[in-house]
Amino acid sequence: MKAAVVESYGALVVREVSDPVPGDYEVLCELLYGATCTGTDTHLIHGHEPVCNWVKLPFILGHESIGRVVELGPKVRHFRVGDVVTRVGAPAGNGVNIGWGGYAQFGIARDHWAMCADGLPPPQWAGNRVNQVVPTGVDPRVAPMFTTWRETLSCMLRLGVDAGANVLVVGSGGNGLSFAAHAGILGAGVTAMVGSAALEPVAREGVGVQAYVDYKSPTVTASLKEQVPTGFDFVIDAVGRAGVADQVVPCIKPGGSYVTYGIDERDAVRINPLLAPGPVMVRPCPYDESETHQRVSEWVMQGKLNAAPWYDVDAAFRLTDINDAFEHVWGRKSPKALVALTE
Protein backbone atom coordinates (compact mmCIF):
# COMPACT_ATOMS: atom_id res chain seq x y z
CA MET A 1 0.00 0.00 0.00
CA LYS A 2 0.99 3.64 -0.32
CA ALA A 3 1.78 5.80 2.71
CA ALA A 4 3.19 9.27 3.39
CA VAL A 5 6.54 8.72 5.09
CA VAL A 6 8.89 11.25 6.67
CA GLU A 7 12.16 9.77 5.41
CA SER A 8 14.31 12.56 6.84
CA TYR A 9 13.34 15.85 8.41
CA GLY A 10 11.87 18.06 5.74
CA ALA A 11 11.33 15.17 3.32
CA LEU A 12 7.78 13.79 3.21
CA VAL A 13 7.45 11.19 0.46
CA VAL A 14 4.67 8.86 -0.64
CA ARG A 15 5.96 5.33 -1.14
CA GLU A 16 5.03 1.69 -0.81
CA VAL A 17 5.00 0.06 2.64
CA SER A 18 3.74 -3.31 3.85
CA ASP A 19 0.01 -3.90 4.15
CA PRO A 20 -1.15 -4.28 7.77
CA VAL A 21 -2.59 -7.56 9.05
CA PRO A 22 -5.16 -7.42 11.87
CA GLY A 23 -4.55 -9.30 15.11
CA ASP A 24 -7.07 -10.97 17.41
CA TYR A 25 -8.69 -7.77 18.70
CA GLU A 26 -7.98 -5.64 15.64
CA VAL A 27 -9.87 -4.58 12.55
CA LEU A 28 -8.39 -3.76 9.18
CA CYS A 29 -9.68 -0.49 7.77
CA GLU A 30 -9.49 1.04 4.36
CA LEU A 31 -8.43 4.56 5.19
CA LEU A 32 -10.74 7.10 3.56
CA TYR A 33 -9.73 10.63 4.56
CA GLY A 34 -7.26 12.44 6.76
CA ALA A 35 -6.97 16.04 7.87
CA THR A 36 -3.70 17.92 8.18
CA CYS A 37 -2.63 19.20 11.58
CA THR A 38 -0.61 22.39 11.30
CA GLY A 39 0.79 21.81 14.78
CA THR A 40 1.91 18.24 15.35
CA ASP A 41 2.29 17.26 11.68
CA THR A 42 4.39 20.32 10.90
CA HIS A 43 6.68 19.77 13.87
CA LEU A 44 7.15 16.12 12.95
CA ILE A 45 7.89 16.86 9.29
CA HIS A 46 10.56 19.40 10.16
CA GLY A 47 12.02 17.68 13.22
CA HIS A 48 11.14 20.33 15.77
CA GLU A 49 11.83 19.44 19.39
CA PRO A 50 10.32 18.19 21.60
CA VAL A 51 7.74 16.69 19.24
CA CYS A 52 10.28 14.92 17.02
CA ASN A 53 11.55 13.04 20.09
CA TRP A 54 8.31 11.04 20.18
CA VAL A 55 9.06 8.98 17.06
CA LYS A 56 12.05 7.68 15.14
CA LEU A 57 12.76 8.12 11.45
CA PRO A 58 11.46 6.98 9.04
CA PHE A 59 7.80 7.15 10.07
CA ILE A 60 4.31 7.25 8.58
CA LEU A 61 2.73 10.61 9.38
CA GLY A 62 -0.85 11.46 10.32
CA HIS A 63 -3.19 11.23 13.31
CA GLU A 64 -6.52 12.61 12.08
CA SER A 65 -7.57 9.86 9.67
CA ILE A 66 -10.75 7.81 9.47
CA GLY A 67 -11.24 4.40 7.91
CA ARG A 68 -13.94 1.93 6.94
CA VAL A 69 -13.75 -1.54 8.49
CA VAL A 70 -13.11 -4.25 5.88
CA GLU A 71 -11.89 -7.19 7.99
CA LEU A 72 -12.42 -8.32 11.59
CA GLY A 73 -9.98 -10.08 13.90
CA PRO A 74 -11.35 -13.27 15.55
CA LYS A 75 -11.94 -11.69 18.98
CA VAL A 76 -13.52 -8.42 17.78
CA ARG A 77 -17.04 -7.90 19.13
CA HIS A 78 -17.77 -4.18 18.90
CA PHE A 79 -16.98 -3.29 15.28
CA ARG A 80 -18.78 -4.40 12.15
CA VAL A 81 -17.65 -4.49 8.53
CA GLY A 82 -18.62 -1.14 7.03
CA ASP A 83 -18.23 0.89 10.25
CA VAL A 84 -16.39 4.18 9.86
CA VAL A 85 -13.85 4.51 12.68
CA THR A 86 -11.87 7.47 14.00
CA ARG A 87 -8.11 7.78 14.54
CA VAL A 88 -7.12 4.78 12.44
CA GLY A 89 -3.48 4.42 11.46
CA ALA A 90 -1.02 2.02 9.89
CA PRO A 91 1.11 0.06 12.38
CA ALA A 92 4.88 0.10 12.54
CA GLY A 93 6.84 -2.68 10.89
CA ASN A 94 9.38 -3.66 8.25
CA GLY A 95 11.65 -0.76 8.97
CA VAL A 96 8.97 1.94 9.14
CA ASN A 97 7.89 3.56 12.41
CA ILE A 98 4.74 5.60 12.92
CA GLY A 99 3.90 9.19 13.73
CA TRP A 100 0.45 7.70 14.34
CA GLY A 101 0.39 6.34 10.78
CA GLY A 102 -2.76 7.99 9.50
CA TYR A 103 -1.64 8.95 5.99
CA ALA A 104 -1.83 5.52 4.42
CA GLN A 105 -4.24 3.45 2.36
CA PHE A 106 -4.94 0.89 5.10
CA GLY A 107 -4.76 0.97 8.88
CA ILE A 108 -5.64 -0.81 12.10
CA ALA A 109 -8.11 -0.03 14.89
CA ARG A 110 -8.47 -2.03 18.11
CA ASP A 111 -11.58 -3.25 19.88
CA HIS A 112 -10.56 -1.74 23.19
CA TRP A 113 -13.93 -2.59 24.74
CA ALA A 114 -13.36 -6.31 24.15
CA MET A 115 -9.74 -6.10 25.31
CA CYS A 116 -10.84 -4.47 28.55
CA ALA A 117 -13.66 -6.96 29.13
CA ASP A 118 -11.30 -9.89 28.53
CA GLY A 119 -8.89 -8.62 31.17
CA LEU A 120 -6.00 -7.45 29.03
CA PRO A 121 -3.73 -4.90 30.75
CA PRO A 122 -4.80 -1.25 30.13
CA PRO A 123 -1.47 -0.31 28.47
CA GLN A 124 -2.44 -2.65 25.62
CA TRP A 125 -5.75 -0.95 24.86
CA ALA A 126 -6.16 2.39 26.67
CA GLY A 127 -4.54 4.35 23.86
CA ASN A 128 -7.07 2.93 21.41
CA ARG A 129 -10.09 4.45 23.11
CA VAL A 130 -9.75 7.05 20.34
CA ASN A 131 -11.01 4.35 17.92
CA GLN A 132 -14.72 5.17 17.99
CA VAL A 133 -17.48 4.52 15.47
CA VAL A 134 -18.73 7.54 13.52
CA PRO A 135 -22.55 7.72 13.47
CA THR A 136 -24.24 6.61 10.29
CA GLY A 137 -25.19 9.67 8.27
CA VAL A 138 -22.06 11.69 9.08
CA ASP A 139 -20.19 12.57 5.88
CA PRO A 140 -16.86 10.67 5.97
CA ARG A 141 -15.21 13.84 4.64
CA VAL A 142 -16.23 15.63 7.85
CA ALA A 143 -15.23 12.80 10.20
CA PRO A 144 -11.46 13.59 10.26
CA MET A 145 -12.40 16.71 12.23
CA PHE A 146 -13.55 14.54 15.13
CA THR A 147 -9.99 14.30 16.43
CA THR A 148 -9.53 18.06 16.80
CA TRP A 149 -13.09 18.67 17.96
CA ARG A 150 -12.97 15.95 20.62
CA GLU A 151 -9.58 17.00 22.02
CA THR A 152 -10.45 20.67 22.31
CA LEU A 153 -13.94 20.09 23.69
CA SER A 154 -12.62 17.69 26.33
CA CYS A 155 -10.10 20.32 27.41
CA MET A 156 -12.76 23.04 27.64
CA LEU A 157 -15.18 20.91 29.64
CA ARG A 158 -12.44 19.95 32.09
CA LEU A 159 -11.61 23.63 32.49
CA GLY A 160 -15.26 24.31 33.32
CA VAL A 161 -16.06 26.65 30.41
CA ASP A 162 -19.81 27.24 30.50
CA ALA A 163 -22.56 29.64 29.49
CA GLY A 164 -21.78 33.31 30.04
CA ALA A 165 -18.00 32.92 30.33
CA ASN A 166 -15.77 35.24 28.31
CA VAL A 167 -13.22 33.17 26.40
CA LEU A 168 -10.03 34.32 24.67
CA VAL A 169 -8.33 31.92 22.28
CA VAL A 170 -4.77 32.55 21.13
CA GLY A 171 -4.24 31.00 17.70
CA SER A 172 -6.42 30.91 14.60
CA GLY A 173 -5.39 27.50 13.28
CA GLY A 174 -7.47 24.35 13.40
CA ASN A 175 -7.27 23.99 17.18
CA GLY A 176 -7.90 27.66 17.91
CA LEU A 177 -10.97 27.73 15.70
CA SER A 178 -12.24 24.58 17.41
CA PHE A 179 -11.93 26.14 20.86
CA ALA A 180 -13.78 29.20 19.60
CA ALA A 181 -16.52 27.14 17.96
CA HIS A 182 -17.07 25.15 21.14
CA ALA A 183 -17.17 28.31 23.23
CA GLY A 184 -20.01 29.61 21.10
CA ILE A 185 -21.97 26.36 21.27
CA LEU A 186 -21.50 26.24 25.05
CA GLY A 187 -22.97 29.75 25.29
CA ALA A 188 -19.91 31.89 26.00
CA GLY A 189 -20.57 35.53 26.74
CA VAL A 190 -17.83 36.82 24.43
CA THR A 191 -15.46 34.75 22.32
CA ALA A 192 -12.30 36.59 21.25
CA MET A 193 -9.22 35.52 19.33
CA VAL A 194 -5.63 36.59 18.74
CA GLY A 195 -4.56 35.18 15.39
CA SER A 196 -3.49 35.65 11.81
CA ALA A 197 -5.03 38.57 9.94
CA ALA A 198 -5.58 36.25 6.98
CA LEU A 199 -7.87 34.00 9.02
CA GLU A 200 -9.96 36.70 10.69
CA PRO A 201 -12.89 36.28 8.23
CA VAL A 202 -12.97 32.54 8.91
CA ALA A 203 -12.93 33.13 12.66
CA ARG A 204 -15.68 35.74 12.60
CA GLU A 205 -17.96 34.30 9.93
CA GLY A 206 -17.19 30.61 10.33
CA VAL A 207 -17.19 30.10 14.10
CA GLY A 208 -18.66 33.32 15.47
CA VAL A 209 -15.68 35.05 17.06
CA GLN A 210 -16.81 38.52 18.17
CA ALA A 211 -13.49 40.24 18.90
CA TYR A 212 -10.28 39.70 16.94
CA VAL A 213 -6.71 41.00 17.18
CA ASP A 214 -3.87 40.38 14.72
CA TYR A 215 -1.09 38.57 16.59
CA LYS A 216 1.44 40.80 14.83
CA SER A 217 -0.11 43.96 16.25
CA PRO A 218 2.17 45.91 18.61
CA THR A 219 -0.87 46.67 20.76
CA VAL A 220 -2.38 43.23 21.38
CA THR A 221 -3.04 43.88 25.06
CA ALA A 222 -4.54 47.33 24.53
CA SER A 223 -6.71 46.12 21.64
CA LEU A 224 -8.10 43.27 23.68
CA LYS A 225 -8.91 45.57 26.59
CA GLU A 226 -10.59 48.02 24.24
CA GLN A 227 -12.75 45.36 22.56
CA VAL A 228 -13.54 43.36 25.72
CA PRO A 229 -13.10 45.74 28.67
CA THR A 230 -14.66 43.30 31.14
CA GLY A 231 -11.82 40.85 30.61
CA PHE A 232 -11.78 37.07 30.21
CA ASP A 233 -12.71 34.18 32.44
CA PHE A 234 -10.63 31.76 30.36
CA VAL A 235 -7.59 32.29 28.17
CA ILE A 236 -6.60 29.28 26.06
CA ASP A 237 -3.27 29.47 24.24
CA ALA A 238 -3.67 27.09 21.30
CA VAL A 239 -0.19 27.89 19.96
CA GLY A 240 2.19 27.64 22.91
CA ARG A 241 4.79 30.22 21.99
CA ALA A 242 7.06 32.17 24.31
CA GLY A 243 5.87 35.70 25.03
CA VAL A 244 2.16 35.04 24.48
CA ALA A 245 1.28 34.95 28.16
CA ASP A 246 2.61 38.44 28.90
CA GLN A 247 0.33 39.89 26.22
CA VAL A 248 -2.87 38.26 27.43
CA VAL A 249 -2.50 37.78 31.19
CA PRO A 250 -3.30 41.49 31.81
CA CYS A 251 -6.71 40.81 30.22
CA ILE A 252 -7.73 37.96 32.54
CA LYS A 253 -10.39 38.66 35.13
CA PRO A 254 -9.32 38.21 38.75
CA GLY A 255 -9.80 34.53 39.49
CA GLY A 256 -9.72 33.65 35.78
CA SER A 257 -7.82 30.77 34.23
CA TYR A 258 -4.88 30.56 31.83
CA VAL A 259 -4.01 27.34 30.03
CA THR A 260 -1.47 26.45 27.34
CA TYR A 261 -2.66 23.80 24.90
CA GLY A 262 -0.25 24.45 22.01
CA ILE A 263 3.19 22.89 21.75
CA ASP A 264 5.18 25.23 19.47
CA GLU A 265 7.59 26.34 22.20
CA ARG A 266 6.00 24.74 25.21
CA ASP A 267 9.26 24.41 27.15
CA ALA A 268 9.82 28.17 26.82
CA VAL A 269 6.39 29.36 27.99
CA ARG A 270 6.71 31.72 30.97
CA ILE A 271 4.09 33.72 32.87
CA ASN A 272 4.76 36.94 34.79
CA PRO A 273 2.08 37.04 37.53
CA LEU A 274 2.81 40.71 38.20
CA LEU A 275 1.07 41.57 34.92
CA ALA A 276 -2.26 40.12 36.06
CA PRO A 277 -4.96 42.41 37.49
CA GLY A 278 -5.62 39.92 40.27
CA PRO A 279 -5.25 36.23 41.15
CA VAL A 280 -4.95 34.01 38.08
CA MET A 281 -5.17 30.23 37.97
CA VAL A 282 -2.53 28.70 35.70
CA ARG A 283 -3.89 25.31 34.82
CA PRO A 284 -2.84 22.20 32.89
CA CYS A 285 -4.68 21.22 29.73
CA PRO A 286 -5.50 17.52 29.99
CA TYR A 287 -8.03 15.94 27.67
CA ASP A 288 -9.49 12.59 26.73
CA GLU A 289 -10.88 12.35 23.21
CA SER A 290 -13.11 9.40 23.96
CA GLU A 291 -15.09 11.22 26.64
CA THR A 292 -16.43 13.77 24.17
CA HIS A 293 -17.07 11.51 21.18
CA GLN A 294 -20.78 11.29 21.89
CA ARG A 295 -21.27 15.04 22.30
CA VAL A 296 -19.26 15.88 19.19
CA SER A 297 -21.27 13.30 17.26
CA GLU A 298 -24.50 14.92 18.43
CA TRP A 299 -23.31 18.42 17.53
CA VAL A 300 -22.35 17.28 14.04
CA MET A 301 -25.69 15.55 13.53
CA GLN A 302 -27.49 18.67 14.80
CA GLY A 303 -25.56 20.91 12.39
CA LYS A 304 -23.77 22.81 15.18
CA LEU A 305 -20.39 21.68 13.87
CA ASN A 306 -19.40 21.33 10.24
CA ALA A 307 -16.05 21.21 8.48
CA ALA A 308 -16.52 24.29 6.29
CA PRO A 309 -14.52 26.77 8.44
CA TRP A 310 -11.57 24.35 8.50
CA TYR A 311 -11.48 22.96 4.96
CA ASP A 312 -13.52 22.48 1.79
CA VAL A 313 -14.92 18.94 1.75
CA ASP A 314 -15.21 19.13 -2.04
CA ALA A 315 -11.53 19.96 -2.54
CA ALA A 316 -9.65 17.00 -1.09
CA PHE A 317 -6.01 16.53 -2.01
CA ARG A 318 -4.88 13.11 -3.20
CA LEU A 319 -2.49 11.16 -1.00
CA THR A 320 0.15 11.47 -3.71
CA ASP A 321 -0.23 15.26 -3.51
CA ILE A 322 0.01 15.49 0.27
CA ASN A 323 2.90 17.96 0.11
CA ASP A 324 0.61 20.31 -1.82
CA ALA A 325 -1.92 19.96 1.00
CA PHE A 326 0.64 21.14 3.55
CA GLU A 327 1.79 24.01 1.33
CA HIS A 328 -1.87 25.03 1.04
CA VAL A 329 -2.17 25.18 4.83
CA TRP A 330 1.22 26.78 5.47
CA GLY A 331 0.21 29.47 2.97
CA ARG A 332 -2.85 30.15 5.17
CA LYS A 333 -5.25 29.37 2.34
CA SER A 334 -7.32 27.41 4.86
CA PRO A 335 -6.77 26.33 8.48
CA LYS A 336 -6.59 22.65 7.53
CA ALA A 337 -6.65 20.52 4.38
CA LEU A 338 -8.51 17.31 3.59
CA VAL A 339 -6.54 14.41 2.09
CA ALA A 340 -8.28 11.57 0.24
CA LEU A 341 -6.41 8.39 1.13
CA THR A 342 -8.13 6.02 -1.31
CA GLU A 343 -7.37 6.11 -5.03
Q: Is the pLDDT of residue 264 over 80?
A: no
Domain 2-142+307-340 in this protein, CATH class: alpha beta
> What whole-number percentage of the chain has pLDDT above 70?
99
- Residue 313, classed as helix, strand or coil, is coil
Instruction: Compute the Cα dihedral for 249, 252, 253, 254 and give only its sign.
Output: negative
Domain ranges of the chain: 2-142+307-340, 148-283
The per-residue pLDDT for range 284-324, each reduced to its tens digit, is 888 999 999 999 999 999 999 999 999 999 999 999 999 99
> pLDDT band at 267, cuts 50/70/90?
confident
Mean pLDDT of the chain: 95
Residues 6+ apart with CB under 8 A from 188: 161, 163, 164, 165, 166, 167
pTM metric for this prediction = 0.96
CA distances in angstroms from 293 to 86, 161, 239, 296, 298, listed in the order given = 10, 18, 24, 5, 9
Given the DSSP bridges, would you call strands 211-214 and 191-195 parallel, antiparallel or unpaired?
Answer: parallel
Q: Is the pLDDT of residue 203 over 90?
A: yes
- Residue 162, classed as helix, strand or coil, is coil
| Domains 2-142+307-340 and 148-283 fall in the same CATH topology | yes
Q: Give the pLDDT of residue 278.
A: 95
Superfamily of domain 148-283: Medium-chain alcohol dehydrogenases, catalytic domain (3.90.180.10)
The per-residue pLDDT for range 73-108, each reduced to its tens digit, is 999 999 999 999 999 999 999 899 999 999 999 999
